[in-house]
Amino acid sequence: MRRESKLELLYFNMRGRAEAARLLLTIVDAPFEDHRVRNMQHWGELKPQLPFGSLPLFRSGSFVLSQSHAILRYIAGSYELLPSSFESQSVYDEAHLALSEAQEDLWQFAWRKDYVANPKAYAEGRLSHFLENLQSHLIRHGGECWVGNSISHIDCLAYVLLDELRAFFPTVLSSFTSLYEFHARFENRPPIRTYIDSGRRPVVFGMALHGPKIDPAANVQPGEVFENPWTEPVPLA
């Protein structure tokens, strides 16, 4: 990525598959335009033009990339956060895929009736199983960063997953001490704290069967709504 190129991230007004990239761009202090598709008409026009008919999409000057995980890795590589050897890069990919597998599973669960009616079985079963393995990975790698000795795109992805647990499965997160401590450390990094406190962070994690997953800790303004291409605007308070 040429540092002087204009950077644009295009997604919906949700954290979802764009949030790790937003966090990474924040950490590397890269100014970027954070475009959010908010209505059906815009989405209807845009979707047929997209390489895979979905978002996020990232632009760096004339270079265009879709697929959230490719985008994340690209930003990491552009800011020299990836090691040079193929073998070392594979270790990053290992953690990357393990985290995305757990995240996809959690997101799939949000489309099942049990997500609201009976989340306990999932929380104590599949979710805890994923977290046990992820926590072991973090501990094996020293407990501070997910891979390597300094912050990377993997830490951003891990935070996005763990932050959704902080919101909707808080007792599960706090029972995994190393994951819980990582989450707290990450969000207290000055650039991340500034972003969270700025009001720029989307209030909604993503869509679920029952509607948008609204962050219970978000500072919602009276009358604020979630504008999206799929439903009428949803009141956030």
Contact residues for ligand GSH (CB under 6 A)?
16-17, 47, 53-56, 67-69
Report, in Å, the least distance between residue 202 CB and ligand GSH.
Answer: 12
Residue 16 or 202: which CB sits closer to ligand GSH?
Answer: 16
Q: Closest separation between CB of residue 212 and ligand GSH, Å?
A: 12
Q: What's the closest the beta carbon of residue 220 comes to ligand GSH, in angstroms?
A: 22
How far apart are CB 18 and ligand GSH at their closest, in Å? 8
Nearest to 102 by CA among 138, 134, 147: 134
CB-based contact 151:145 (threshold 8 Å): yes
| Minimum gap (Å) between residue 54 Cβ and ligand GSH | 3
Minimum CB separation of residue 13 from ligand GSH in Å reads: 12
With contact defined as beta carbons under 8 Å apart, do 9 and 32 qualify?
yes
Is the CB of 157 or the CB of 162 nearer to ligand GSH? Answer: 157
The residues with which 208 forms a beta bridge, in sequence order, are 211
Nearer to ligand GSH, 107 or 176 (CB): 107
The nearer residue to ligand GSH, 90 or 108, going by C-beta atoms, is 108
Q: How many other C-beta atoms can be found within 10 angstroms of the C-beta atom of residue 78?
A: 19
Whether 174 and 180 have beta carbons less than 8 Å apart is answered as yes
Residue 61's contacts (CB-CB under 8 Å, 6 or more residues apart) are 2, 5, 6
Nearer to ligand GSH, 67 or 175 (CB): 67
Handedness of CA 30, 192, 185, 135 (dihedral sign): negative
DSSP for 152-185, written as a single string = -HHHHHHHHHHHHHHHH-HHHHHTSHHHHHHHHH
- Closer Cβ to ligand GSH, 65 or 91, answer by number: 65
